[in-house]
């Protein structure tokens, strides 16, 4: 948000920390005071003007607007995914698992094609996700296990994220 209004140190110095903080608060920026103070301090340390600074400032302004627009579109798509996930019959069961919310739950459903009957046992699901070690036995050697090379990376990420969140909470 800061880069949509002020791109150069000179502009930040002209505005000042107080007016910059007010400008950020009016645009509902979290931590506006801290951000304004840090930007003003950084602007005070830099007094060198670069050749083409105005053209680059315009480019930065345009790119910052585009990033904000993309963030809005991503939020809209996330809401669509969440609403579609909530319509699935297994959604309450999946979200009851610790650490799995609507978006990881939707990824879980996409990875399993929405049908857990495809996996006869939980071991098969763990193997498909790459969580179960794969045997590398040969001849008389048995019990030689290694990390599998072929597995569903999205599903593995869902389970690891779920585990980390459940440990934290």
Instruction: Please state the pTM of the whole predicted model.
Output: 0.69
Across the chain, what does the average pLDDT equal?
A: 90
Tell how far CA 38 is from the center of its chain. Answer: 25
Give dist(CA 10, CA 42) in Å, integer: 11
Tokens 């001849």: give the residue.
Answer: 139
* Token digits of residue 102: 């609507």
Question: Residue 147: is its pLDDT beyond 90?
Answer: no
Task: Please give the full DSSP string across 32-80, using - where no structure is assigned.
Answer: HHHHHHHHHHHHHH--PPPTTHHHHHHHHHHHHHHHHHHHHHHHHHHHH
Task: Please give the full DSSP string across 115-143, using - where no structure is assigned.
Answer: -GGGSSSHHHHHHHHT-SPEE--BTTB--
- State which of 25-34, 114-123, 160-169 shows the largest mean pLDDT: 25-34
Question: Residue 166: is its pLDDT beyond 90?
Answer: no
- 78: confidence class by pLDDT, cuts 50, 70, 90: very high
Q: Which residue has the higher pLDDT, 113 or 85?
A: 85
Query: Which stretch of DSSP H or E encloses residue 145?
Result: strand 145-146
What number is the average pLDDT over the span 87-105? 90
Q: Which residue has the higher pLDDT, 69 or 137?
A: 69
- 80: confidence class by pLDDT, cuts 50, 70, 90: very high
* Token digits of residue 10: 């000179």
pLDDT at 169: 78
pLDDT at 114: 83
């Amino acid at each position: 948000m800061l880069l949509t209004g002020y791109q150069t140190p000179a502009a930040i110095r002209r505005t000042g920390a107080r007016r910059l903080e007010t400008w950020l608060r009016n645009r509902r920026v979290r931590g506006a005071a801290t951000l304004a103070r840090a930007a003003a301090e950084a602007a005070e340390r830099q007094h060198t003007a670069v050749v083409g600074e105005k053209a680059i400032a315009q480019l930065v302004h345009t790119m910052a607007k585009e990033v904000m627009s993309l963030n809005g579109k991503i939020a809209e798509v996330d809401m669509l995914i969440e609403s579609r996930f909530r319509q699935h019959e297994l959604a309450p069961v999946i979200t009851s698992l610790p650490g799995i919310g609507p978006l990881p739950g939707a990824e879980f459903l996409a990875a399993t094609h929405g049908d857990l009957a495809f996996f006869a046992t939980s071991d098969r699901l763990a193997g498909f996700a790459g969580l179960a070690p794969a045997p590398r036995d040969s001849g008389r050697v048995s019990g030689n296990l290694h990390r599998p090379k072929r597995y569903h990376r999205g599903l593995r990420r869902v389970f690891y994220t779920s585990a980390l969140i459940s440990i934290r909470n």
